[in-house]
Amino acid sequence: MSSPRVLVLNGPNLGRLGTREPEVYGHETIEDLAARCRAVADELGLVADVRQTDDEATLVGWLHEAVDTRSHVVLNPAAFTHYSYAVRDACAQVTSAGLTLVEVHLSNPATRETFRHTSVVAGVSTGTVAGFGLGSYDLALRAVAARAR
Ligand code: DQA
Which residue among the candidates 27, 64, 105, 117 is catalytic per the annotation? Answer: 105
Nearest CA to 50 among 149, 127, 143, 140?
140
Tell me what pLDDT residue 2 has: 87
Within 10-134, residue ranges assigned H as helices are: 22-25, 30-43, 56-68, 85-96
Evaluate: CB of 20 within 6 angstroms of ligand 1. no
- Architecture, CATH, for domain 5-148: 3-Layer(aba) Sandwich (3.40)
Q: Per residue in 20-60, pLDDT tens?
A: 999 989 999 999 999 999 999 999 999 999 999 999 999 99
Chain centroid to CA 60: 13
Query: Which residue, judged by its Cα, is nearest atom 13 of ligand 1?
Result: 78
85 is catalytic: no
25 is catalytic: yes
Evaluate: CB of 78 within 6 angstroms of ligand 1. yes
* Entry pTM: 0.97
What are the extents of the domains in the chain? 5-148
- Mean pLDDT per 10-residue interval, the chain, length 149 residues: 94 96 93 98 98 98 98 98 98 98 98 98 98 98 96
